[in-house]
Amino acid sequence: MNLTTSTDGQILGKVQCPGDKSISQRALMIGAFMNQNMIIDGFLHGQDPLSTMNALNQIGAGISIDGDGRVHLCKRNQSFHNCENALNFGNSGTGLRLMLGLTSGMGLKASFCGDESLSSRPMDRIINPLTEMGANIESTNGKLPISISPTKFKKQYKYELPVASAQVKSSILLAGLAAGTSIEIIEPIQTRDHTEKMLKHFGANIETSSQDGKNVIKLASSNYLHAKNYNVVGDISSAAFLIVAALIGNSPGLEIMNVGMNPSRTGVLQALQKMGANIEVKNNRLESGEHCADLFVKKSELKGVELSGKIIPNIIDEIPIISIAAAFANGETVIKDARELRVKESDRLRAVSEGFSSLGIMHRNFEDGMSIQGAPNQLLIDPSISIDSYDDHRIAMSFLIAGLKCSKPIIVKDCENIFTSFPNFIELISSIGYELKK
């Protein structure tokens, strides 16, 4: 599915932020593991969370969705069981990596597969620590397909992450939770901590501290979790596309409701505010252990900045859309220390660069980032220009937002991927004044 932008958008109104994809998937896994009655509200009905739900149901979770979109987890009479058919995670790296930890820790026999994109992504950084813990994992040169078989885990495990990664951290924590292993994880920079917050919310004995400038997470070997209904806050990564649309478009004001404000995720707001973005944070509150708020955004005169170091792990998913903001800012923006972008759903640095080349946006590539020479003016382009999304939802949505600043419509190719993380993107963006045509 290709999407074509329009040239007469005016971004304004009030919208509800879609549920957080990362939190939705974690709530499914931890909720199913607890084996108690529980309802999840605000769940993101995207392809990634749904593939995780289907995989859990394959091993006996019995999760269902009611007519209002709420997810029901019910107490089961039987424990999880082995599965002969492969658990298919589609495009969901989060689902695959976290479930590898959970199911290995439970001592199941299972196999895992995914789509072409997920099958090309390296999994060694998950497989290696899980194997050190005692997991029995077989892979295809560190990639899918992957299989696990029952084994005994160590009673305690300590691991220092060589590269900051919330998915690796969470996979180890879930494996330790399921196996009854005492866990200590040291991360060089704090990454998103949804797993820690959710475990704490349900009563786990987990502590986080700072030692020698590093983040240390400790999970006790014995935990009894108490289920309670859970409300998923909005996904700030999804909100980022709406925010940038309002900043670069002709927007008198856009209000985005119920945006997750976890301190390990708000780097995108810090980066955009450093660029001069007019973003007002209102109604700060706590929802199921997670901070959230409402955001009010207005068109702003942006300026180029340097983004590197500690902020990068906390904006890694938002760098493509931040790059679009940078393209329409005054002056140069430099992004460094973002090598991780080369092993996402696509090589996102390359994908952004090629899109910029098609649009005539001045930039230079580095191995771990790029520099972008911004200009706030509308791009005067040929009507036949098309952008390759490389089957990557964040690349697709980023260049669709860039279309707000193009004199002619542009075509973004292969946009089905958007439904993995933002299933109502087309309808929502239309409701605030920006039409996209199929």
The mean pLDDT of 59-75, rounded to a whole number, is 97
Residue with the two structure tokens 């252990």: 289
Confidence of residue 279 (pLDDT cuts 50, 70, 90): very high
Find the angle CA(161)-CA(350)-CA(50) to the nearest 5 degrees: 65
Is-contact 291 231, C-beta < 8 A?
A: no
CB within 8 A of 342, min separation 6: which ones?
348, 349, 350
| Domain 3-19+233-431: CATH architecture, name and number where available | Alpha-beta prism (3.65)
Q: Residue 383: is its pLDDT beyond 90? A: no
Beta bridge partners of 110: 148
Q: What letter represents residue 394's amino acid? A: R
Claim: this prediction has a pTM higher than 0.85 = yes
Domains 3-19+233-431 and 21-221 equal at CATH topology level: yes
CB within 8 A of 166, min separation 6: which ones?
22, 191, 192, 193, 194, 195, 264, 313
Give catalytic status of residue 317 as yes or no.
yes
Catalytic residue (one of 294, 317, 388, 392): 317
Q: What is residue 362's predicted lDDT score, i.e. its pLDDT?
A: 97
Residue extents of the structural domains in the chain:
3-19+233-431, 21-221
Euclidean distance between CA atoms 29 and 61, whole angstroms: 9
- Cβ count within 10 A of residue 151: 14
- Name the DSSP letter for residue 233: P
The mean pLDDT of 393-415, rounded to a whole number, is 96
Q: What letter represents residue 360's amino acid? A: G
- 204-256 pLDDT, tens digit each: 999 999 999 999 999 999 999 999 999 999 999 999 999 999 999 988 999 99
Is-contact 188 164, C-beta < 8 A?
A: yes
Q: Residue 8: is its pLDDT beyond 90? A: no
The mean pLDDT of 145-167, rounded to a whole number, is 95
Euclidean distance between CA atoms 361 and 248, whole angstroms: 15
% residues pLDDT > 90 (the chain): 92
Is-contact 425 399, C-beta < 8 A?
A: no
Q: Residue 86: is its pLDDT beyond 90? A: yes
Q: In what order do the strands lie in the sheet with 306-307?
A: 306-307, 331-335, 369-374, 363-366
Euclidean distance between CA atoms 44 and 93, whole angstroms: 16
Q: Which fold has domain 21-221?
A: UDP-n-acetylglucosamine1-carboxyvinyl-transferase; Chain (3.65.10)
Q: Residue 325: is its pLDDT beyond 90? A: yes
Q: Which of helix, strand or coil describes residue 127?
A: helix
Beta bridge partners of 278: 298
Q: Which of helix, strand or coil describes residue 187?
A: strand
- 358-379 pLDDT, tens digit each: 999 999 999 999 999 999 999 9
% residues pLDDT > 70 (the chain): 100
Is-contact 9 407, C-beta < 8 A?
A: no
Q: In what order do the strands lie in the sheet with 253-260?
A: 12-16, 253-260, 290-298, 278-287
Euclidean distance between CA atoms 160 and 187, whole angstroms: 6
- Average pLDDT over the chain reads 95
Q: Residue 279: which H helix or E strand, with range?
A: strand 278-287
Residue with the two structure tokens 């329409």: 328
